[in-house]
Amino acid sequence: MSADSANLVAQLRHDLRTPVNHILGYSEMLLEDAEAEGNAASVSDLRKIQTAAKTLSALIDSRIQGDCGAGGPPAMGNFTPSPPFNAPIAGGSPHQNSEPLSGRVLVVDDDEGNREMLAKRLVREGLSVEMVPDGFEALAALGSKEFDVVLLDVMMPLLDGYEVLRQAKENPATRDVPVIMISALDEIASVIRCIEAGAEDYLPKPFDPTLLRARLSACLEKKRLRDAEQRYLQEIEIAQRRLQGELDEAARYVRSIIPAPQQGPPKTDWKYTPSTELGGDAFGYHWIDSGHFAIYLLDVCGHGVGPALLSVAAMNVLRSASLPNTDFRDPAAVLAGLNKAFPMERQNNMYFTIWYGVYHSPTRTLRYASGGHPPALLFLPSEAGGHVSKRLQTPGLIVGVMPDSEYSSGQVELPSGAVLALFSDGCYEVRDASGEMPTFDGFEDFMTRHAPGEGGLERLQEWVRTRHGDGPLDDDFSILRVGF
């Protein structure tokens, strides 16, 4: 059969079944009312009407089978009444023991009788209904109003249901609205075509009320879940933006407590790149009095908000010299005071390492102490040119681990031209693509050659980035250089 002949046969079946479907639809609703009222005579008559209408529908299906060879008339088969494709589901009226549905439904059908009948059925179910007669008005309604489900007729003039479905699913604003295709035809090819195009379901006319309610209920529930998911995602996005704003503000505050580089004396310079939005490293320097200059760098375990809060708290203690009974010109006493002030059991089991030094400008001496921190590197001018390095570190446990830990101070004289570098372990514990990590000796050699000169910190940053590659660093990168 040619495509044109097949379309003519389909249209003929559609046109013949439409008035029969009206009879079935309205008699079904009247039957429900009669059963509810206990009107036995009307129930009997309405069931006879339904039986006759179903027989006529089966006769149409049997006699007009869609086989028009050589363009001839529809084939006339031998009629044997049989239950229609959508025979009623056992269980009685769909309203028995059923809660009303809720939602807004768009009914799209070119036949006014079909629209009115379906609208009455949907209103009985508790739904709000809007009706349009063609595909163009359907797309306009979908673009301007919100619907929970669309009942879309397949066969319509001007713009058929297939095209309306295609355009609705291609539009981001309407593609998530569930669409149930409806048709007087029940060919499997039509069903497959609609489902593949994005339809949620397919219902043949006449509608079995129980099946219609079940399909609508499933689509409405799916739409509610989808809408709830979208609202949840929007709430998450709002919360993430708010959190990001707070993190940005916190990161700005952390940077604000790091003092600006100064030309000296002493001359200071630094580089700071946290591995996350908020890192656990912090450092600073300030004059304790006219002759004593404090220099310090600490590294809290972990990354994120918790470590950042602890590092800021410790930094503010150092800047304000607020440890009781502590001489901030004595490095060992400062570390002991910090250890008592920040026990890890009161800091969510967080602790930190620290290097703290005090430069006495009149005598050009540097006293220092460290608590579990990498040694500072002191670069001394060499008679042969360049610099030689000296590691500055004292024994002492990580701050916050043991409440009675003892700390000791070291002391060194600083000739003119000496350069001191304090850093966190993120400056040298950097794995390359093969997973190899440099030794501290290799790092010290690199620093001795580059750190004392101009651009030395930039070279270290470039070295770290080259080893690590793109993306966030595995640990915070913090280095402070002080020239004397």
Of 183-192, 223-232, 422-431, where does mean pLDDT reach its minimum? 183-192
The DSSP H or E segment spanning 366 is strand 365-371
User: What long-range pairs does 28-37 form, CB within 8 A, spacing at least 24?
Assistant: 28/206, 28/209, 29/120, 29/121, 29/124, 32/93, 32/95, 32/124, 32/209, 35/92, 35/93, 36/93, 36/95
pLDDT of 328 higher than 70? yes
The larger pLDDT score, comparing residue 360 to residue 87, is at 360
| Stretch 131-142: mean pLDDT | 95
Can you tell me the mean pLDDT for 338-365?
Answer: 96
Average pLDDT of span 443-460: 94
Q: What is the mean pLDDT of residues 340-347?
A: 95
- Report the predicted TM-score, pTM, of the whole model to 2 decimal places: 0.61
pLDDT at 6 over 80: no
Q: Please report which residue ranges of 331-475 form alpha helices under DSSP H.
A: 331-341, 440-450, 456-468
Residue 46 burial class via C-beta count within 10 angstroms: exposed 0-12, middle 13-18, buried 19 and up: buried
Residue 137: burial class (beta carbons within 10 Å; 0-12, 13-18, 19+): middle
What is the rounded average pLDDT of the residues 342-354?
A: 95
Per cent of the chain over pLDDT 70 is 84
280-283 own/partner pairs: CB under 8 Å, 24+ apart: 280/304, 280/307, 280/308, 280/310, 280/311, 280/352, 280/476, 281/311, 281/424, 281/426, 281/476, 281/478, 282/254, 282/257, 282/258, 282/311, 282/312, 282/314, 282/315, 282/478, 283/258, 283/422, 283/478, 283/480
Check residue 256 and give its pLDDT.
87
Q: Please name the fold of domain 94-239.
A: Rossmann fold (3.40.50)
**8 Å CB contact between 335 and 399:** yes
CA distance 156 to 137: 12
Taking the C-alpha atoms of residue 64 and residue 171, their distance in angstroms, rounded to an integer, is: 38
**What confidence category does residue 47 fall into, taking pLDDT thresholds of 50, 70 and 90?**
confident
Query: Above pLDDT 90, what percent of the chain?
Result: 56
Segment 459-468 mean pLDDT: 91
Task: Give the three-state DSSP class for 310.
Answer: helix
More confident residue, 439 or 188: 439
Residue 383: which pLDDT band, with cuts at 50, 70 and 90? confident
Superfamily designation of domain 257-483: PPM-type phosphatase domain (3.60.40.10)
